[in-house]
Amino acid sequence: MSTYEPGTVAVATVRGVPNLRVMRTTGTAGGDDIWLTVEHVGGWRTHIATDVTDIRPLVMLDLDDPDAYGCSAVVHDPAKIVSALRETNSVAAHAIARQIEAQTKPPRIPEPGLWGVVEAGSNAHPTRRKWVRYGMGWRDLTGNPQQWSDLIDPTLVRPGVEDES
């Protein structure tokens, strides 16, 4: 039986493939713990404990719960946390700052005006492409319609004009 609790997220070697993210599940297979991977490894996403080696558990931070760290409510913005960590002379604090930056996304851009252009994926078309805002929604350059809420991680290409109606 493993020393890792179900729900443990780690970086590990799986079936000889190093540096994969894994998660320990609640199940067992013949007494062996089960680990999951996002990627298929050896044709599988589920792996028994003997297939998973060099396990390095990851530390999870809930940046939206400042009371858990004894911080004021002001310091739960990831950018402010990163800035404070970078003001130290600690190599560990700088490493944590780099990890926070790598794992947090900036807020979604506001919806551009009429004829605005963004580059984004969508639920129906995950490949990033350009989308143009027209009267009632968005269309890609081939005419596929989408709603703003269905565009994934849009980046602004052109702001468009304000609707006068």
Query: CB-based burial of residue 95 (10 Å sphere; 0-12 exposed, 13-18 middle, 19+ buried)?
Result: exposed
108-155 confidence digits (pLDDT tens)? 899 999 999 999 988 877 789 999 999 889 999 888 899 999 898 899
Residue 1: the pLDDT is 46
pLDDT given at position 26? 79
Which helix (H) or strand (E) segment holds residue 52: the answer is: strand 52-57
Per domain, the residue ranges of the chain are 9-57, 66-103, 117-158
pLDDT value, residue 122: 86
Please answer whether residues 120 and 132 qualify as being in contact, where contact means their C-beta atoms are separated by less than 8 angstroms. no
pLDDT in the model for residue 143: 87
Say which residues have a Cβ less than 8 Å from residue 117's Cβ, sequence separation at least 6.
130, 131, 132, 133, 156, 157, 158, 160
Intervals of the chain under pLDDT 50: 1
Helix H, strand E, coil C: the string for 64-94 is CCHHHHCCCCCCCCHHHHHHHHHCCCCHHHH
